[in-house]
């Protein structure tokens, strides 16, 4: 099944999955969504939060749904000027083919054409191994079922960017959020674009303190869940 490349309203690309008939990023703006949901509401919230002042030199990020690599690339760019190292793990069951990746326009749209080689490297490096992409950013990509994820008490931030409940309802249940809760450090944060009530209640059922927050201009609400 062939992935279809589409242009979102902010000019950046997304992909349409033919099986699930769902997009990898918001059609109202792929970069807008990445900035608002994952960078600002997740990563920068944790880095600026008084409750996480022990984060001095490093921050660990887990992304569920690595997909196009947009969130990883955006995180690398946004933290280049910060005095912090990012340890990034992306989990994906079905990696996007490289011939599709090469057609995505994120370096251009993020005004980072000079970093195109880094965006390509994000996808060219091998899976199941850790790679130091820059002095401040390490990346590991794992091709595995997230239900088999076993790491506990390690991550400061989780970008939960799986396909939505209509496409893959099994990824928005208490079973999966119990795994996410265990993976986070105390006071760690999970952020996601999905604000569906069933997903929010599933997070709360495993111990998360969940806030429904205003979303980007194209979306009413998003969720941020904290492991207290």
Domain assignment present for 109: yes
Say how far apart CA 106 and CA 100 lie, in whole Å. 13
Domain assignment present for 9: no
Say how far apart CA 56 and CA 215 lie, in whole Å. 29
Domain assignment present for 203: yes
Cβ-contact 71, 63 below 8 angstroms: yes
- At residue 19, the pLDDT reads 92
Neighbours of 144 (CB within 10 A): 14
- At residue 1, the pLDDT reads 65
- At residue 24, the pLDDT reads 97
151-176: pLDDT as tens digits = 999 999 999 999 999 999 999 999 99
Range of the domain at 92: 37-226
Domain assignment present for 21: no
Domain assignment present for 180: yes
Q: In Å, how far are 16, 164, 177 from 92, measured between CA atoms?
A: 16, 15, 16
- At residue 54, the pLDDT reads 59
Q: What is the CATH number of the domain that holds 87?
A: 3.40.50.150
Q: In Å, how far are 47, 63, 107 from 227, measured between CA atoms?
A: 15, 16, 34
Q: Tell me the DSSP string of 108-122.
A: HHTT-GGGHHHHHHH
Cβ-contact 187, 228 below 8 angstroms: yes
Number of domains in the chain: 1
Domain assignment present for 10: no
pLDDT profile of the chain (228 residues), mean per 10: 93 96 96 97 87 71 98 97 94 96 97 97 98 97 96 97 96 98 96 97 98 92 97
Domain assignment present for 58: yes
What is the CB-side half-sphere exposure of residue 199 using CA atoms within 13 A?
27
Say how far apart CA 143 and CA 147 lie, in whole Å. 12
Domain assignment present for 2: no
């Amino acid at each position: 099944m062939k992935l279809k490349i589409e242009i979102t309203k902010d000019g950046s690309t997304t992909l349409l999955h033919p099986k699930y008939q769902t997009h990898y990023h918001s059609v109202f703006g792929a970069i807008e969504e990445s900035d608002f949901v994952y960078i600002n509401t997740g990563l920068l919230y944790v880095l600026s939060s008084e409750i996480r002042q022990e984060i001095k030199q490093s921050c660990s990020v887990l992304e569920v749904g690595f997909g196009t690599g947009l969130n990883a690339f955006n995180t690398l760019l946004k933290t280049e000027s910060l005095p912090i190292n990012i340890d990034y793990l992306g989990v994906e069951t079905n990696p996007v083919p490289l011939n599709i990746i090469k057609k995505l326009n994120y370096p251009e749209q993020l005004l980072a054409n000079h970093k195109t080689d880094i965006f390509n490297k994000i996808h060219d490096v091998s899976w199941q191994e850790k790679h130091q992409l820059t002095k401040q950013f390490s990346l590991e990509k794992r091709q595995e079922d997230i239900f088999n994820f076993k790491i506990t008490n390690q991550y400061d931030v989780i970008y939960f960017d799986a396909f939505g409940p209509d496409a893959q309802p099994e990824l928005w249940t208490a079973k999966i959020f119990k795994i996410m809760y265990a993976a986070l450090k105390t006071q760690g944060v999970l952020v996601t674009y999905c604000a569906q009530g069933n997903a929010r209640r599933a997070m709360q059922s495993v111990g998360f303190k969940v806030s429904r927050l205003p979303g980007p201009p194209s979306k009413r609400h998003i969720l941020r869940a904290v492991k207290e």
